[in-house]
Structure 1
């Protein structure tokens, strides 16, 4: 147990501390799911998993609340595994190490997993705390949300009994979400031609690192640097004049995380290495100036290395660099309907090379299907010009806002009474699972709330302690205020 267990509300923080101790990155949630099932059974609660691995728990209504409309609290089981380059951590084996830093809880060198671990902990804390008053209650914990929403895709009709769903995956206290963007994964695969590194060429590794990174949805409008795009820009500017030959390029680790680091293994004539070092530092000064307000730790280095890899042919290398440099990134369009919210974006999340292919993985998000389709078509056209294979898959729908939602109005009224101010009713440019839940449960009334979490999907992730208490106060008051069935 860590110092977190002394924070208030104590049941929530104690459960979150336990969640941190059990590794649960995407595709490795079974240990945590098994722990939760056993924990619920020991408390005499209904607990089972479906074919997709989702966990469903049930608790009877508080005496006197039996006629209230049934509610399901929903969170996802997995977390995004991101770490600093100098942090030794195996997300499949090692526990997260949370600690208190002033008003915030952070993790040592890794993502914290407050996304969506705090929401998960709050739902389980409601089950654990018999002083919380509520009607018939369910808790749904879904699998593998961060890498494709597979649990939500696999959710079957008639499993849930609830009429109202409260999603706990929002990340700003004081905001109530009633809609979200849909998304689709896009992969561009370019065939490669390789040859031996020319005689007399020096092999070097160019490293670009120190960027903040972040969530490819909620942070995409902040203007933070994308390591893949910054590296491509430099290579495009200087590859021809320095006679650079590409051996390998890697950048980013997840398509839904803004990449913080990118690396290029290059070969160039021995006499050009000094120029490469000089140009790299000149470029660093340029982008440090451009990104001065956002990126304080940006760094570029060049070092000689040994490599057994063959180089891309000159023509193939130039084509790959041009393709990566031309691939759009960031905000495509702001919404006209929801002021201040991104309508359509994409994140050039992961770049990798193997012997025969170069792969560029993007995540496209949009509040409207046509916006998503437009970016798919643009990337496809660009890929076709380069002679690449283009694959769009894993498309998931957005959650269409419903201004008449009774639970949304109830959240607003409850928040106003508790805190004497009106919350912001928002649509979020991120993928919540609510849009997928609407297919098996079209009549479910849904809303999303949560505490303040900054830097999700990056090692800078942190959750604001006071906001967790405010969120808990709102959640428990909301459960108490749910009306009776009509």
Structure 2
């Protein structure tokens, strides 16, 4: 499948990306790909090993005469975000990703593309295979479960890697190089809330909020995008005037993707149904005006549904308190950086919210350039949801990556960028959880930077990569590896 990728250039990169598209690899299910890469490494005469977590390392000896060059680690993550459009049947554990080219961009048919971080991985494999590349000792480090928990990096074995420099190929803006990133943590809220049977004078309405663009909860958090959970909770808040009781809720699927859809079933007095429908209609127009062209596809629908089996919405008090807590919860950009202009300092994404049979669950992702700010915002969640008796845990915390603008690796990268592309790169700090922060905490001696081709819509079915930037990204990566070999 995806034979058309073989016709793209650079050939080696796209051939390896085709393999990645054809090999299912959602987070937590990378085993098939790991085994395939180990078998491939053996055909190339490279050694390979895994650490206790399952992270994979492939090692290639230096070009003869370059054994003295400091070791270089090439790093990417094997897993991809598994998101499909509503109504698009796709089994991410079995089905390959179907791709197509349109207007100079590579897309997937109805799903995430996996260019994040598949193109970085493909470029690393292409470097290892390139017979004409001059290089020092190379280590390819492929981590697992980056998209769900940073698990691979967090559990990376210490005293395992040997290189002195590291290139992370998990950035998404060609022409930019990243030297720092935000840290973060998951805030997980759970509660069992009281419910009461549906009364004879009550009916049910289903609310569906769909059509939002979604996006990466770090890279896109400052964009004028709607968060489906934030918006539907606002609708629920307005329906408290008609004594609506929340029966069920499902919004978002990943804590690191801005939710595109949210659905809720509510119970309300029969004689208030028409008033509720009027409120939703008016609020639909209000939200569409507010979102404007930033998320013009938003659709909000309310429709009566029939009860099925035993129906027990939350009590009115429990429903009111839950909706109030969600309405007050931090969401979006909290603060811009005072030290790095134009960069988000602290944010939160209300990523996954659910309610079923009184069981409430929330998973939010807090990010900040300051680890202390992550702790502070997580504590706000504890304080807020503690008021409704919920249990709040902070999980999968990971440190940020402190910028080093004077690093030798950055100087070499800038020189190569100027020589090859005729201009200096933009040096950036990213509001996303690059694994560099965690890797640097385990291997503090590493000189690191991150760069990549232009990817848009990561973590959503709109994910796409600009083909021309892949060619330039490959040329720059190759030139940098050779420069490090010749000038060390």
TM-score tier by shorter-chain length is over 0.9
Q: How far apart are the structure 2 equivalents of 1:297 and 1:197?
A: 34
Q: How far apart are the structure 1 equivalents of 2:258 and 2:249?
A: 17
Shift, 1:212, TM fit: 0.6
**What is the aligned partner in structure 2 of residue 394 from structure 1?**
396
**What is the aligned partner in structure 2 of residue 301 from structure 1?**
301
Q: Deviations over 1:373-432 (max 9, x none)?
A: 221122222122233222112111001111221111111111011111110111000001
Q: How far apart are the structure 1 equivalents of 2:396 and 2:67?
A: 40
Aligned: 1:94 with 2:95: yes
SS at structure 2 position matched to 1:292? helix
Residue number among 409, 416, 419 corresponding to 1:417 in the alignment: 419
**What is the aligned partner in structure 2 of residue 317 from structure 1?**
319
Q: How far apart are the structure 2 equivalents of 1:105 and 1:225?
A: 25
Q: How far apart are the structure 1 equivalents of 2:133 and 2:291?
A: 47
Q: Deviations over 1:334-386 (max 9, x none)?
A: 00111100000000000011334312210000001121122112222212223
Q: 1:282 to 1:356 in 2, by over 3 A?
A: closer
Q: Deviations over 1:295-352 (max 9, x none)?
A: 1211011223343331111111111111111111000000011110000000000001
Aligned: 1:203 with 2:211: no
Shift, 1:278, TM fit: 2.4
Q: How far apart are the structure 2 equivalents of 1:353 and 1:218?
A: 28
Given that 2:224 and 2:295 are in contact with CA atoms closer than 8 Å, whether structure 1 keeps it comes out as no
Q: How far apart are the structure 2 equivalents of 1:43 and 1:278?
A: 66
Q: 1:100 to 1:485 in 2, by over 3 A?
A: closer
Shift, 1:466, TM fit: 0.4
**What is the aligned partner in structure 2 of residue 247 from structure 1?**
247
CA RMSD of aligned residues (A): 1.4
**What is the aligned partner in structure 2 of residue 455 from structure 1?**
457
Pairing of 1:1-400 with structure 2 (within 5 A)? 1-2=1-2, 3-239=4-240, 241-305=241-305, 306-308=307-309, 309-400=311-402
Q: Deviations over 1:82-102 (max 9, x none)?
A: 111121111111111111111
SS at structure 2 position matched to 1:208? strand
SS at structure 1 position matched to 2:293? coil
SS at structure 2 position matched to 1:217? coil
Q: How far apart are the structure 1 equivalents of 2:435 and 2:487?
A: 25
Gap regions ≥5 residues in structure 2: none
Q: Deviations over 1:205-252 (max 9, x none)?
A: 11001001100000000021000010001111122x222121101100
Q: Which stretch has the larger CA shift, 318-327 or 187-196?
A: 187-196
SS at structure 2 position matched to 1:95? coil
Q: Deviations over 1:84-129 (max 9, x none)?
A: 1121111111111111111100101111010000000000011122
Q: How far apart are the structure 2 equivalents of 1:50 and 1:377?
A: 34
Q: Deviations over 1:120-145 (max 9, x none)?
A: 00000111221222111110000101
Shift, 1:483, TM fit: 4.8
Q: How far apart are the structure 2 equivalents of 1:419 and 1:450?
A: 14
Given that 1:190 and 1:320 are in contact with CA atoms closer than 8 Å, whether structure 2 keeps it comes out as no
SS at structure 2 position matched to 1:413? helix
Given that 2:214 and 2:258 are in contact with CA atoms closer than 8 Å, whether structure 1 keeps it comes out as yes
TM-score by length of 1: 0.97
Q: How far apart are the structure 2 equivalents of 1:366 and 1:225?
A: 21
Q: How far apart are the structure 2 equivalents of 1:380 and 1:368?
A: 19
SS at structure 1 position matched to 2:15? helix
Q: How far apart are the structure 2 equivalents of 1:192 and 1:286?
A: 31
Gap regions ≥5 residues in structure 1: none
Given that 1:255 and 1:347 are in contact with CA atoms closer than 8 Å, whether structure 2 keeps it comes out as yes
**What is the aligned partner in structure 1 of residue 428 from structure 2?**
426
Given that 1:4 and 1:100 are in contact with CA atoms closer than 8 Å, whether structure 2 keeps it comes out as no
Q: How far apart are the structure 2 equivalents of 1:48 and 1:54?
A: 8
SS at structure 2 position matched to 1:277? helix
**What is the aligned partner in structure 1 of residue 484 from structure 2?**
482
Q: How far apart are the structure 1 equivalents of 2:418 and 2:265?
A: 56
SS at structure 2 position matched to 1:347? strand
Q: Which stretch has the larger CA shift, 278-287 or 144-153?
A: 278-287
Shift, 1:484, TM fit: 6.5
